[in-house]
Amino acid sequence: MKKAEPDKKNSGPRPAATPPAPADVPVVAELTPEQIEELKTRAAKADEYWDRLLRTAADFENYKKRAARERIEVAQSTAAALLQKLLPVLDHFEMAQTAAQTTSAPQSNLESLQAGIAMIQQQLKGVLAEAGLEEIDAAGKPFDPMLHEAVSQMETNDVPEGHVIQQIRKGYKLRDRLLRPAAVVVAKKPASPPAA
C-alpha cells in the first residue's frame, strides 16, 4: 500500500493572517498637503504653548521664593526696629540696678529708685503701645470669653453676676488680635441658704 504523500507545495510555513483592525482604531488614510500643513501649524502652536507654560511655571516658582524671602526680611526688619526701641529701656533697667546696688542713703534712694522704675515701666509701655500692643482692662466689666479667661468664680452681692471681680493677670491684644487673655475671677450670685 502506498502512503499518501503530503503535498510539498503546501507543506511550508503558512503566512500569518493579519488580525482584523479593532473597531476603535481609525484607519489611516492618505493626508492631503493642506492637512499636513495644518498639522504642522498646530504642532508649532502646541510647542509654543508648552514653552509658555514652562516659563509661567518657572516664573511662578521664582515669585513664590521671592515672596517668602521678602516676608522673612520684613519680619526681621520689623523685629529689629522694635528691638532698637527696646534697647534704651534695657539700658535704663541696668542703670537702675546699678543705682540700687550703690545706694548710700537708703530712704531717699529707695524713693528715687521707685520713681526711676516707674519711668522705665512707662517708657516700655509706650514702646509696646507704639508697636500696637494694647492692654485688656477687665476689672468690673462683663465677662467676655473672647478676651477673658475665667480662673475661678466668687459668690458676691457687690458685683453683678457675670462681671469680673478681680483681674489676676493682664491680657494683651496686638491691634485686633488677642495675644493673651486676661485671667479673671468672675462674680456669681450667692447660693440661697437652705430652707429650715
Rounded CA-CA distance 164/147 in Å is 12
The CATH number that domain 134-191 falls under is: 2.30.22.10
Cell of residue 21, nine digits = 483592525
Q: What is the pLDDT of residues 97-111, one digit of tens each?
A: 777 777 665 666 677
**Topology (CATH level 3) of domain 34-131:** Hemagglutinin Ectodomain; Chain B (3.90.20)
Q: For residue 58, which phi and psi values (nearest 5 degrees)? A: -65, -40
Instruction: Compute the half-sphere exposure of residue 125: CA atoms within 13 Å on the CB side of its CA.
Output: 9
In order of 102, 140, 164, 166, 196, the CA distances from 155 in angstroms are 49, 15, 12, 12, 22
Q: What is the pLDDT of residues 11-56, one digit of tens each?
A: 555 555 555 555 665 656 788 999 999 999 999 999 999 999 999 9
Q: For residue 169, which phi and psi values (nearest 5 degrees)? A: -140, 135
- Give pTM, 2 decimals: 0.56
**Sequence ranges of the domains in the chain:** 34-131, 134-191
